């Protein structure tokens, strides 16, 4: 805006224009502020991963790369991370298989008791985590089962299944039925159609469901806390050590997870865009 | 809750008519998953129900309870924790409204004004949640903490007293809840806004509706499924959460989740914890059912 050349009455026009620009872009400004708000804690976590603070990462003491060079410098952090990765991986595989099977059954077959099954899929998502965690623990205690790795995985698979079903079902519903018809017209039998047409088309949905399961499992605290006994997961470690300040290595791991996940999502988008372009 | 998917659920493809004949296949596909859900969701809930009416016999060891069908447990548990119940629903309600106020313009901008940036911005909405939920909450405790930047800034201003605190306040707990469940609000809102045909908005304009009227009479009603899904997906986890109240609050901001947690682990009073969990679940399910009925959307399940 070159309003400064208009010497006689620059101020009203300028403020007028500014306010018009402001009104037109109000929603963009608002969204930008919302994004800043969303990223404040992420930026903070990232910044404090470079803090030369030793064990208690509460106040800024100076810049160092040591935490990044030696992420296992606080050993408990790494063992907790290892547990979380292991639990996440096993739960994701199990939940994705079980959930995908249910999704296919629900979208491709007619059978009795469908609404009961839909309800059973919906309820775990509508139940607060405390209740899920407490009820599982009540049952494990009842059976004299000691909580640990196995009980955590059982719990994680349970709450991930519903999300897998919903995600994969939506993908199946969005398929173009003509593709399968075409395969059948070309003398593919049901199994071949499924193997070469349906499954590859549903695959992005399954991959998305697996990613969702992994992040739900990796980030879960409440249900895990009820059913973990003495096993420490990454979120549990952060919770327990929050009061005295968590080691900067935890920030390193949190920030790395952020960048890895961001990379996977962006790469996935680029790949699917290229496929579409072809 | 098909909140991530803008795709309308098309009616079942015609091709399946052949496959839909009665066979064992669907039952075999359903079996393992259903066994899991029945064994580790239904059965635990039943155990919880049975635990909730147990009592501890005189002189029995800590943590030993026998079934005595004492329904009075529910009244006792509720009466002792009325405040925490009320607080949970109040905080979760405020956090849900705040999240709606933050997310609606954000989702609207991404759906209608972002152009080619759309999918990039959607990734940005979800991206913060790749950093652990606990780490982000701990970050808030330090940002809002007594030595943190926000408090130092407020202290420098003339109209705040020097002993102002942000952490260990209801304000901090509600902000934490609002922040932590934000994508659960934004994504379903975006999904339903994105589904709106821009021509309906143009048509409203052609019929002499101004921007505000179009928004109020066309956009908002069409985005209702997203509003309902988003508010539920925010309210339910927020009402049961205890991490924010623990990390950002003080003993006077304890929510029902904190009580259930401490009844289980610190006090080893399983029946009370079970009765409270059951009351919470029932209260939420009733609220959800009423809410879905009232808003007239069945698309959620």
pLDDT in tens, A21-71: 877 788 889 999 999 999 999 999 999 889 887 666 777 777 888 888 888
Per-residue confidence at A17, pLDDT binned at 50, 70, 90?
A: confident
Domain segments of chain B as ranges: 81-295
SS (H, E, C) A86-119: HHHHHHHHHHHHHHHHHHHHHHHCCCCCHHHHHH
- Are A27 and B109 a contacting pair at CB < 8 A? yes
Q: What is the pLDDT of residue A59?
A: 74
Contacts by A193-197, CB closer than 8 A, 24 or more apart:
none
Angstrom distance (rounded) from CA B301 to CA A242 = 37
Nearest CA distance, B283 vs chain A (angstrom):
11
A171, A205 in Cβ contact below 8 A? Answer: yes
Kindly tell me the burial class for residue A58, based on how many C-beta atoms sit within 10 Å of its own C-beta (0-12, 13-18, 19 or more): middle
**ipTM summary value:** 0.84
Q: Buried b / exposed e across B25-59, counting CB within 10 Å, b at 16+? A: ebeebbeebbebbeebbebbbebbebbbbbebeee
CATH node for B81-295:
1.10.3720.10
On whether any CB of chain B is under 8 Å from the CB of A105, the answer is yes
* Set of chain B residues whose Cβ sits within 8 Å of the Cβ of A216: none
Chain A residues 67-96 within an 8 A CB cutoff of chain B: none
Partner-chain residue, chosen from B47, B137, B236, that has the shortest CB–CB distance to A139 = B47
Nearest CA distance, A4 vs chain B (angstrom):
31
Q: What is the pLDDT of residue A53?
A: 77
* Whether residue A146 has pLDDT greater than 80: yes
Q: Kindly report, residue by residue over B170-194, the tens digit of the pLDDT.
A: 999 999 999 999 989 999 999 899 8
- Are A242 and B134 a contacting pair at CB < 8 A? yes
A interface test, pick of B13, B176, B192 with most A CB neighbours within 10 Å: B13
Closest Cα in chain B to A116: B34
Q: Kindly report, residue by residue over A235-259, the tens digit of the pLDDT.
A: 999 998 887 778 888 899 999 989 9
| Residue scoring higher pLDDT (B115 or A217) | A217
Chunked in runs of 10, what are the mean pLDDT values of chain B (301 residues)? 38 45 82 95 93 82 78 87 92 96 93 85 87 90 84 80 81 94 92 88 85 85 90 93 92 90 85 92 88 68 43
- Are B10 and A221 a contacting pair at CB < 8 A? no
- Are B37 and A35 a contacting pair at CB < 8 A? no
Q: Kindly report, residue by residue over A67-116, the tens digit of the pLDDT.
A: 888 888 777 888 999 999 999 999 999 999 999 999 999 998 888 888 89
Partner-chain residue, chosen from B27, B42, B125, that has the shortest CB–CB distance to A111 = B27
Q: What is the pLDDT of residue B280?
A: 93
Nearest CA distance, A53 vs chain B (angstrom):
14
Q: What is the dihedral of CA B2, A206, A236, A233, to 10 degrees?
A: 170
Phi/psi at B208 (5° precision): 70, 25
Q: What is the pLDDT of residue B198?
A: 84
Nearest CA distance, B158 vs chain A (angstrom):
25
Nearest CA distance, A67 vs chain B (angstrom):
16
């Amino acid at each position: 805006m070159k309003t400064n050349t208009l010497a006689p009455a620059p101020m009203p026009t300028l403020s007028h224009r500014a306010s018009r620009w402001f009104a037109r872009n109000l929603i963009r400004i608002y969204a930008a502020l919302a994004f800043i708000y969303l990223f404040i804690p992420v930026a903070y976590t990232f910044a404090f991963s470079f803090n030369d603070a030793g064990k208690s990462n509460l106040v800024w003491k100076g810049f160092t790369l040591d935490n990044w060079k030696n992420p296992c410098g606080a050993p408990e952090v790494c063992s907790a991370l290892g547990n979380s990765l292991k639990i996440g991986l096993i739960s994701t595989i199990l939940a994705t298989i079980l959930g995908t099977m249910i999704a296919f059954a629900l979208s491709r077959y007619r059978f009795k008791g469908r609404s009961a099954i839909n309800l059973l899929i919906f309820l775990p998502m509508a139940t607060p985590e405390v209740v899920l965690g407490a009820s599982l623990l009540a049952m494990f205690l009842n059976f004299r089962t000691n909580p640990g790795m196995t009980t955590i995985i059982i719990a994680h698979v349970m709450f991930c299944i519903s999300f897998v079903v919903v995600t994969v079902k939506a993908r199946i519903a969005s398929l173009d039925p003509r593709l399968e018809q075409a395969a059948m017209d070309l003398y593919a039998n049901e199994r071949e159609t499924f193997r070469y047409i349906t499954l590859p088309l549903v695959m992005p949905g399954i991959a998305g469901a697996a990613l969702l399961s992994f992040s739900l499992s990796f980030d879960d605290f409440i249900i895990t806390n009820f059913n973990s006994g003495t096993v420490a997961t990454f979120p549990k470690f952060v919770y327990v050590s929050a009061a005295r300040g968590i080691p900067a290595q935890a920030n390193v791991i949190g920030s790395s997870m952020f960048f890895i996940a961001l990379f996977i999502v962006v790469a996935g988008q680029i790949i699917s865009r290229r496929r579409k372009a072809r | 809750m098909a909140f991530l998917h803008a795709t309308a659920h098309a009616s079942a493809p015609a091709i399946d008519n052949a496959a839909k004949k009665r066979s064992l296949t669907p039952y075999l596909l359903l079996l393992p998953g259903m066994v899991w859900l029945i064994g580790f969701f239904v059965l635990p809930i039943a155990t919880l129900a049975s635990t909730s009416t147990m009592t501890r016999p005189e002189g029995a060891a800590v943590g030993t309870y026998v079934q005595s069908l004492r329904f009075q447990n529910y009244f006792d548990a509720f009466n002792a924790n009325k405040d925490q119940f009320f607080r949970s629903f109040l905080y979760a309600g405020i956090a849900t409204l705040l999240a709606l106020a933050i997310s609606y313009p954000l989702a609207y901008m991404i759906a209608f004004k972002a152009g080619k940036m759309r999918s990039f911005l959607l990734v940005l909405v979800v991206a913060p949640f790749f950093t652990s939920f606990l780490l982000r909450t701990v970050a808030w405790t330090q940002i809002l903490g007594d030595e943190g930047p926000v408090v130092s800034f407020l202290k420098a201003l003339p109209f705040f007293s020097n002993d102002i605190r942000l952490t260990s306040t209801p304000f901090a707990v509600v902000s934490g809840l609002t922040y932590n469940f934000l994508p659960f609000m934004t994504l379903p809102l975006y999904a339903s806004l994105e589904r709106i045909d821009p021509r309906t908005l143009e048509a409203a304009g052609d019929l002499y509706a101004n921007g505000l009227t179009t928004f109020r009479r066309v956009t908002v009603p069409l985005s209702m499924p997203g509003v309902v899904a988003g508010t539920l997906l925010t309210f339910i986890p927020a009402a049961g959460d205890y991490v924010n109240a623990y990390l950002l609050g003080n003993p006077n901001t304890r929510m029902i989740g904190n009580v259930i947690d401490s009844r289980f682990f610190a006090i080893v009073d399983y029946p009370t914890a079970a009765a409270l969990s059951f009351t919470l679940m029932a209260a939420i399910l009733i609220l959800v059912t009423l809410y879905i009925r009232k808003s007239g959307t069945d698309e959620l399940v």
